[in-house]
């Protein structure tokens, strides 16, 4: 090119294009988007992290559970939980236990298959403004609609949990590391004996925060020892999204 000004403009345009392509702040697909629990990628920025993020929506989770409405039309959640072999994955921000096929629940007449449970330290849901040191999320999916039903079980510090004790010394320590074992357990092992629960419509608690979740938070916690809870906390650190506004949603209560 003869004109030095034109050359400079071309070069600038080229550099501008490269810079934009590599700019991590350019909205991208929500698949495998990076997020954190503080700083520039923290919860207050999740709504802008990726193209399909619903994190700024008005049916978000978790929430503070207070002033729930008793609903006599609700029933115990029918649970068909079968034994699964042990498949633990370190997902970076959480420790996840994947289930073999065969476990399911029925919510509002529809079947949801149990896929996995993972843990949060401390709990994401609060009850009357207080959180528990840990919460387990049992994620179930409706094969037809793709919608989710997640059972939240709060874990209070107390007696050693016999089932967790089989796993705490085997939790994979680095992201994407796994632990596989033939040893079996069932989701029933982690369910409180009292079937009372709270339920409301909400979202995933991590980006893209999709508003596709029927939440069922068990009213009564289970127990684990401080040492067991600390095994999870040590690996996943603080991984609780702050509670979100109800924005007019009703939390219903079922007395089991
Ligand atoms: Zn969760």
- Asked if pLDDT for residue 17 goes beyond 80, the answer is no
Interval 195-220 mean pLDDT: 98
Read off the pLDDT band of 19 (50, 70, 90): very low
Peptide bond into 155 cis (omega under 30): no
- The whole domain housing 74 covers 59-254
Q: How many domains does the chain have?
A: 1
Query: Does 208 reside within a domain?
Result: yes
- pTM higher than 0.85 for the full model? yes
Is 93 designated active site? yes
The pLDDT value given to residue 30: 86
| Ligand 1 centroid from CA 135, angstroms | 8
Q: 74: CA distance to ligand 1 center in Å?
A: 24
Residue 253 annotated as catalytic: no
pLDDT of 10 strictly over 80 = no
Catalytic residue (choose from 54, 84, 120, 121): 120
Query: Is 12 within the bounds of a domain?
Result: no
Active-site residue 234, yes or no?
A: no
Which contacts (CB < 8 Å, 24+ apart) does range 72-76 have?
74/199, 74/252, 74/253, 74/254, 75/254, 76/195, 76/254, 76/256
Would residue 43 count as lying in a domain?
A: no
- Would residue 241 count as lying in a domain? yes
229: domain CATH number is 3.10.200.10
Q: Cβ neighbours of residue 140 under 8 Å, at least 6 residues apart?
A: 104, 105, 107, 112, 113, 114, 115, 148, 149, 150, 151
**pLDDT of amino acid 9:** 53
In a domain, 202, yes or no: yes
In a domain, residue 50? The reply is: no
CA 202–ligand 1 middle distance (angstroms): 12
């Amino acid at each position: 090119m003869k004109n030095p000004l034109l050359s400079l403009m071309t070069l600038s345009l080229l550099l501008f294009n490269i810079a934009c392509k590599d700019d991590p702040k350019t909205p991208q697909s929500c698949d495998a988007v990076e997020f954190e629990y503080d700083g520039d990628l923290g919860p207050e920025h999740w709504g802008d992290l990726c193209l399909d993020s619903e994190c700024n929506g008005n049916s978000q989770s978790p929430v503070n559970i207070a002033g729930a409405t008793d609903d006599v039309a609700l029933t115990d959640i029918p649970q068909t939980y079968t034994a699964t072999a042990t498949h633990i994955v370190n997902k970076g921000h959480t420790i996840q236990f994947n289930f073999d096929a065969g476990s399911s629940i029925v919510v509002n007449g529809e079947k949801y298959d149990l896929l996995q449970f993972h843990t949060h330290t401390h709990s994401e849901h609060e009850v009357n403004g207080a959180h528990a040191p840990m919460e387990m999320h049992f994620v179930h999916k409706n094969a037809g609609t793709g919608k989710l039903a997640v059972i939240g079980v709060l874990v209070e510090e107390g007696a050693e949990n016999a089932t967790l004790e089989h796993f705490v010394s085997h939790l994979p320590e680095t992201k994407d590391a796994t632990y596989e074992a033939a040893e079996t357990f069932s989701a029933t092992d982690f369910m409180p004996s009292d079937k009372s629960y709270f339920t409301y419509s909400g979202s995933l608690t991590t980006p893209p925060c999709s508003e596709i979740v029927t939440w069922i938070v068990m009213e009564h916690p289970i127990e684990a020892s401080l040492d067991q809870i600390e095994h999870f906390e040590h690996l996943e650190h603080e991984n609780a999204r702050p509670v979100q506004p109800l924005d007019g949603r009703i939390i219903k209560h079922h007395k089991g």
